[in-house]
Amino acid sequence: MLADWIAVDWGTTHLRAWAMSAAGEVQATAASDAGMNGLSRDGFEPALLDLVGGWLAEGRQTPVIACGMVGARQGWAEAPYRAVPCTPLDAGAMIAAPCSDPRLSVRLIAGLSQASPADVMRGEETQIAGLLAARPDFDGVLCLPGTHSKWARISAGEVVSFQTFMTGELFALLAEQSVLRHSVAAAGWDDDAFAEALSDAISRPDRIGARLFTLRAEALLSGLAPEAARARLSGALIGVELAAARPYWLGQDIAVIGAAGIAGTYVAALTAQGALPQQYDGDEMTRAGLTAAHAQRKGASQ
Site residues, its own copies (CB under 8 A): 73, 81, 113-115, 117-120, 148, 163-167, 169-170, 173-174, 177-180, 205-210, 212-214, 216-218, 220-222, 237, 240-241, 243-245
Least distance to its own copies from the beta carbon of 212, Å?
Answer: 5
Identify the CA nearest to 127 among candidates 24, 9, 25.
9
DSSP state of 86: B
Q: Are strands 158-165 and 278-281 parallel, antiparallel or unpaired?
A: unpaired
Sign of CA dihedral 294, 277, 117, 37: negative
Instruction: Give the C-alpha separation, 183 to 230, whole Å.
Output: 8
Report the nearest approach of its own copies to the CB of residue 189 (Å): 21
Instruction: DSSP letter for 186, please.
Output: S
Residue (40 or 302) nearer to its own copies, CB: 40
Closest distance to its own copies from the beta carbon of 299 (Å): 30
Q: Tell me the DSSP string of 152-196.
A: EEEETTEEEEEEEE-HHHHHHHHHHTSGGGGTS-SS---HHHHHH
Report the nearest approach of its own copies to the CB of residue 96 (Å). 22
Question: Minimum CB separation from its own copies for residue 265, in Å?
Answer: 16
CA 219 to chain centre: 33
For residues 173 and 148, the answer to whether their CB atoms sit within 8 Å is: no
Q: Which is nearer to its own copies, 63 or 168 (CB)?
A: 168
Q: Which is nearer to its own copies, 19 or 170 (CB)?
A: 170
- Least Å from the CB of residue 268 to its own copies: 19
Report in angstroms how near the CB of residue 246 gets to its own copies at its nearest: 9
Contact 108, 66 (CB under 8 A): yes
Distance CA 11, CA 215 (A): 33
Which CB, 27 or 178, lies closer to its own copies? Answer: 178
Q: Are 184 and 226 in contact (CB under 8 A)?
A: yes
Question: CA-CA distance, 247 to 227, in Å (whole number)?
Answer: 32
Residue with Cβ nearer its own copies (160 or 295) = 160
Q: Which is nearer to its own copies, 173 or 250 (CB)?
A: 173
Which CB sits closer to its own copies, 215 or 292?
215
d(CA 254, CA 2): 39
Nearest to 154 by CA among 250, 80, 255: 255
The CB-of-222 to its own copies minimum distance in angstroms stands at 7
For the chain, counts of helices (H) and of strands (E): 9, 14
Which of 121, 267 has the CB closer to its own copies? 121
Residue 19, amino acid: A
